[in-house]
Amino acid sequence: MSRHDELRAIALAEFATAGFAATSLQRIADLAGMSKASVLYHFESKDRLLAEIVNPALDDLDTLIVSIDQAGALRHGDFVERFVDLLLTHRQVVPLVINQGATLDDVPVMHRATLLMRRISELFRLASGSTLEKLRFGVAFGGVAYTLAAAERLGLNGEIPIDEVRSALLEILHDLLVPAESRIA
């Protein structure tokens, strides 16, 4: 792993656990065994460092949204599976966006995250009218995302195998969303 990628990994771990604002460039430098100035040699600013960490996950999310959009009709089953896989793939980035997105909305990359999440919620709001339906989707996707984000902190996960988590999340989302889907149709 290049020094550049190593720094990105260190920063991601710190941003996700301690928070972006609470993680100083000095601390990242210490963990990497180099000087703060060296960190700023690899990444021209702290915001750019955050952007390089978060953007790959947002790119995937964007791709997913576009493909759903182009499909014309919403097929919940497909979306759910791809969404869960996306969350699991970018497991470390999820707490960053979920927990600190609101706070860091003035940082461009985090604003992008907010916009993407809003597009998802609007995507489903169009297909579901009642308050119950809206909240059902909110609880479903928010709950899955937040559970992944909070799992470590609250001791929820332990050492559960990922594929077991995956199938469990898929079943839960299916329970929550499929009755809603049938009600629309």
Partner DNA sequence: CACGGTACTGACCGATCGGCCAGGTATCTG
Partner DNA sequence: CAGATACCTGGCCGATCGGTCAGTACCGTG
Nearest CA to 153 out of 89, 76, 77, 94 is that of 94
**What does the alpha-carbon distance between residue 183 and residue 58 come to, in Å, rounded to a whole number?**
31
**171, two tokens:** 């079943």
**What does the alpha-carbon distance between residue 9 and residue 170 come to, in Å, rounded to a whole number?**
28
Interaction between residue 147 and DNA (CB under 7 A): no
Interaction between residue 169 and a second copy (CB under 8 A): yes
The count of chain residues that interact with DNA, using the rule CB under 7 A, is 20
- Which of a second copy, DNA, none interacts with 132 (beta carbon under 5 to 8 A by kind)? a second copy
**95, two tokens:** 């707490």
Interaction between residue 8 and DNA (CB under 7 A): no
Residues 117-146 that bind a second copy (CB under 8 A): 117-118, 121-122, 125, 131-132, 134-136, 138-140, 142-146
Of 21, 66, 71, 178, the one binding a second copy by CB under 8 A: 21
Residues 16-45 that bind DNA (CB under 7 A): 23-27, 29, 33-38, 40-42, 44-45
**What does the alpha-carbon distance between residue 116 and residue 40 come to, in Å, rounded to a whole number?**
29
* Positions in the binding site for DNA (CB under 7 A): 3, 23-27, 29, 33-38, 40-42, 44-47
